[in-house]
């Protein structure tokens, strides 16, 4: 028989949505709910954004103010897979957001970045998510609903963001799409359709 605590120990949740869809607020609420199920849990927030300009600085400050002081913040623009190995069983870890992280990875790889390099980094992340004993809630943008970009690096980003979301969706227990602030639960669902793309 599993207790409420045990049921949450392998919990992984991927929260998808567009810009300003409400995905971060939803993920924060899910993190707080997950924390309630842990006896000695701590809330961790992994920020992947970097302070590029004043507008980004304001966005980051807004998110910090909304979260409150109970969160332990970690700034991890690139080395996310390694960071996930440092968390314990009762830790609740919110990663916001994976698409910014992917952008940082591609930028660090440079102008000659290719699919094989990016896919290797994504595979490392997926493996770390699977192996981590912590409860992990991940926020990612659904970027594949718009026009296919013309630039090589932009296409590399959009294609790999879609592949990353699919790879993570396969290994997590819950996937939720947020639109207009409303959650649509994609996994688990009452039916399953095997789609590869």
> Known catalytic residues?
63
**Per the annotation, does 17 bind a ligand?**
yes
Is 137:183 a contact under the CB 8 Å cutoff?
A: no
Q: Please tell me whether 112 is known to bind a ligand.
A: no
To the question of whether residue 170 is assigned a binding role by annotation, the answer is: no
Distance, C-alpha 34 to centroid of its chain: 16
3 phi and psi angles, rounded to 5 deg: -85, 175
- Confirm whether residue 75 is marked as ligand binding: yes
For residue 149, is the peptide bond before it cis, meaning its omega torsion is within 30 degrees of 0? Answer: no
Does residue 134 have a known ligand-binding role?
Answer: no
Q: Is 113 annotated as belonging to a binding site?
A: no
Q: How far apart are CA 126 and CA 168, in angstroms?
A: 6
Annotated binding residue 124: no
Is 12 labelled as part of a ligand binding site? no
In angstroms, rounded to a whole number, what is the distance separating the alpha carbons of residues 36 and 5?
Answer: 9
| Residue 11 phi, psi dihedral angles, 5° rounding | -70, 125
Helix (H) or strand (E) holding 17: strand 12-17
Strand partners, 72: 44
The answer to whether 176 is annotated as binding is no
Residue numbers belonging to the annotated binding site? 17-24, 47-49, 64-67, 75, 96
Q: Which residues are annotated as a binding site for GTP?
A: 17-24, 47-49, 64-67, 75, 96
């Amino acid at each position: 028989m599993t207790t409420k605590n045990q049921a949450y120990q392998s919990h992984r949740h991927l929260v998808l949505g567009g810009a300003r869809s409400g995905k971060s607020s939803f993920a924060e609420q899910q993190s707080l709910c997950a924390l309630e199920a842990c006896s000695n849990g701590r809330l961790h927030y992994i920020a992947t954004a970097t302070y590029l300009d004043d507008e980004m600085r304001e966005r980051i400050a807004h998110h910090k103010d909304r979260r409150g002081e109970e969160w332990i913040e970690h700034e991890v623009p690139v080395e996310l897979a390694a960071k996930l190995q440092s968390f314990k069983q009762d830790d609740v870890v919110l990663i916001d957001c994976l698409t910014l992280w992917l952008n940082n990875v591609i930028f660090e790889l440079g102008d000659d970045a290719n699919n094989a390099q990016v896919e290797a980094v994504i595979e490392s992340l997926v493996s770390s998510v699977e192996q981590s004993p912590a409860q992990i809630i991940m926020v990612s943008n659904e970027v594949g609903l718009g026009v296919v970009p013309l630039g090589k690096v932009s296409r590399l980003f959009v294609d790999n963001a879609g592949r990353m979301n699919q790879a993570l969706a396969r290994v997590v227990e819950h996937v939720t799409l947020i639109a207009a602030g409303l959650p649509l639960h994609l996994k688990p669902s009452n039916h399953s359709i095997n789609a590869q793309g």
